[in-house]
């Protein structure tokens, strides 16, 4: 078997591997083994990183944040050395502070080698204290992590002591603090510790763990083991960049997009200039807002949005069938530019030129998908939104359309060639909302199609939230 030297991989791949390994709680070497095993078995890596849009938002090009890591004096301190690596894998800079007791378990040299930073140990260190270094350590970071947080360190924190560098930093901190307690189960369950932990939580201090399991002391087990470094790193990342709110969580959103192709014969079809960009942007925005999204799209030249169920269709009739099959939904948005007509006498063979002139093409009307769904009795989604692509009398035509189709809202846009909307990246829209017989009009400024999508999704979230 060949040996693989991970250090020789190019930086981007190495970084991706590290990030992936961190997410899966494995060493980089183990992660590589998993990838190779799965590749050899000819299947996509099951535990691979989610697609880019699904990933927690870690900026892989820059450092995410800086953490001051206070290592307390307990046997779990050896795991904190691994924690330094796990944090750095997540683009988090780490500056370590070791208490006096911590230095009985790990050395400042080891922490410094792993963090690539100077390690701090002494409150009265003239080199770092000439400019009140403990204040800098408390403030020049985005988060303070204490791991292991010993019973003694927590007692000091709960009572506001500041007689060494670690406790002085914690008292001077104006940044969030995450504690990873680690101690013997009897100490964890002691009434004094319980009181201190409660007080710290009331003070807004975050905690992770401890876990239950075997203790360092022979034959002892119970709650008191420090959380694993990957768990602590994930909790730190969560505090540094909390996930975005998901106002559409639990909602199913059905969206149509793109043009439809209506066949004339096996090689020719009727189409329109729709790019599908607006519908795809809405699908991505709804997915980012936590919705389960089904996107039924005609032929487009766009990548499927991550985390969205995409159903590709050709004709208006295919689109209608797939839409009906995807119901029920909480919200349906019809952004597709569905062809109004199809060829009635679709040729089975390629139509040939003849001396008789042009072949007669008979057109018949396609089903109106928006109107069909709006008028459903049982499965009508509670919020049905159409689009009105107009080239003149925009608002009047859109008002007529909202009534004719029976939908709740219409996003009206001017698609005259001069606007560049068809196929372009920008859109100027008016949102028409129906409230009984009244139709309100909200005109939005010119925006990118992504901005229109985001704004529409937040309007939907407000509407759905209000009716919850």
Query: Which residues of the shown chain bind ligand CTP in the complex (CB under 6 A)?
Result: 256, 316, 334, 336-338, 340, 366, 368-370, 386-389, 401
Please report where in the chains the tokens 């007689």 appear, as a residue: 163
Neighbouring-strand partners of residue 206: 178
Residue 237, both tokens: 């990342």
328 prior amide bond cis, ω within 30: yes
Minimum CB–partner distance for residue 340 and ligand CTP (Å): 5
Return the structure tokens found at 228. Answer: 């694993």
H-helix or E-strand containing 316? helix 316-326
What's the min distance (Å) between Cβ of 267 and ligand CTP?
24
Contacts of 92 (CB under 8 A, 6+ apart): 63, 64, 65, 66, 67, 233, 236, 237, 240
Backbone angles phi, psi at 334, to 5 degrees: -105, 90
Pairing of strands 143-149, 447-448: unpaired
Q: Which is nearer to ligand CTP, 96 or 429 (CB)?
A: 429
272 is catalytic: yes
Nearer to ligand CTP (CB atom), residue 156 or residue 405: 405
d(C-alpha 110, C-alpha 119), whole Å: 9
Shortest Cβ 366–ligand CTP spacing (Å): 5
Identify which of residues 145 and 388 has a Cβ nearer to ligand CTP in the complex: 388
Q: Which is nearer to ligand CTP, 340 or 450 (CB)?
A: 340
How far apart CA 175 and CA 31 sit, in angstroms, is: 34
> Which CB, 64 or 254, lies closer to ligand CTP?
254
CB 154 within 8 A of CB 120: no
Output the CA–CA distances (angstroms, integers) from residue 171 to 156, 157, 164, 221, 326, in the order listed. Answer: 9, 7, 11, 33, 56
CB of 120 or CB of 269, closer to ligand CTP: 269
My answer on whether omega of the bond before 433 falls inside 30° of 0, hence cis, is: no
- What is the token pair recorded at 5? 């030297």
For residue 408, the minimal CB distance to ligand CTP (Å) is: 12
Residue pair 84/97 in contact (Cβ under 8 Å)? The answer is no
Q: Which of 24, 190, 272, 397 is catalytic?
A: 272
In the complex, the smallest distance separating the C-beta of residue 205 from ligand CTP, rounded to whole angstroms, is 52
- Give min distance, CB of 389 to ligand CTP, in A: 4
- Please list the active-site residues: 272
């Amino acid at each position: 078997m060949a040996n693989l030297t991970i250090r020789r991989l190019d930086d981007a791949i190495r970084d991706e591997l590290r990030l992936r390994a961190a997410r899966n709680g494995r060493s980089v070497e183990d992660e590589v083994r998993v990838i190779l095993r799965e590749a050899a078995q000819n299947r996509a890596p099951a535990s691979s990183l989610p697609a880019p849009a699904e990933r927690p938002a870690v900026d892989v090009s820059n450092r995410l944040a800086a953490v001051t890591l206070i290592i307390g004096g307990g046997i779990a301190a050896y795991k904190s050395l691994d924690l330094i690596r796990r944090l750095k894998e997540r683009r988090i800079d780490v500056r370590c502070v070791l208490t006096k007791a911590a230095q009985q378990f790990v050395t400042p040299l080891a922490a410094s080698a792993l963090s690539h930073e100077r390690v701090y140990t002494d409150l009265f260190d003239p080199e770092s204290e000439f400019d009140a270094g403990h204040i800098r350590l408390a403030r020049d970071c985005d988060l303070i992590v204490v791991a292991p947080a010993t019973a003694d360190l927590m007692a000091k924190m709960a009572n506001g002591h500041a007689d060494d560098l670690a406790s002085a930093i914690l008292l001077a901190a104006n940044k969030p603090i995450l504690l990873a307690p680690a101690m013997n189960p009897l100490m964890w369950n002691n009434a004094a510790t319980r009181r201190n932990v409660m007080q710290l939580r009331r003070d807004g201090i975050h905690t992770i763990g401890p876990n239950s399991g075997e203790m360092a002391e022979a034959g002892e087990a119970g709650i008191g083991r420090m959380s694993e470094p990957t768990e602590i790193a994930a909790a730190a990342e969560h505090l540094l960049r909390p996930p975005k709110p998901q106002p559409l969580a639990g909602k199913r959103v059905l969206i149509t997009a793109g043009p439809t192709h209506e066949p004339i014969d096996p090689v020719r079809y009727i189409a329109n200039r729709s790019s599908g960009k607006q519908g795809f942007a809405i699908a991505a925005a709804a997915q980012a807002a936590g919705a389960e999204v089904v996107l039924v799209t005609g032929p487009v030249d766009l990548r499927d949005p991550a985390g969205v169920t995409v159903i590709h269709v050709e004709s208006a009739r295919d689109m209608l069938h797939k839409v009906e099959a995807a119901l029920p939904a909480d919200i349906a948005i019809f952004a597709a530019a569905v062809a109004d007509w199809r060829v009635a006498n679709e040729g089975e063979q390629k139509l040939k030129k003849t001396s008789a002139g042009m072949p007669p093409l008979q057109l018949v009307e396609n089903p109106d998908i928006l109107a069909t769904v709006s008028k459903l009795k049982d499965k009508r989604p509670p919020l049905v939104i159409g689009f009105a692509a107009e080239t003149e009398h925009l608002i009047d035509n859109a008002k007529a359309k909202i009534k004719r189709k029976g939908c709740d809202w219409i996003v009206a846009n001017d698609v005259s060639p001069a606007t560049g909307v068809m196929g372009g990246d920008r859109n100027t829209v008016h949102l028409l909302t129906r409230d009984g017989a009244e139709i309100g009009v909200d005109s939005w400024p010119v925006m990118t199609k992504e901005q229109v999508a985001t704004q529409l999704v937040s309007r939907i979230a407000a509407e759905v939230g209000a009716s919850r």
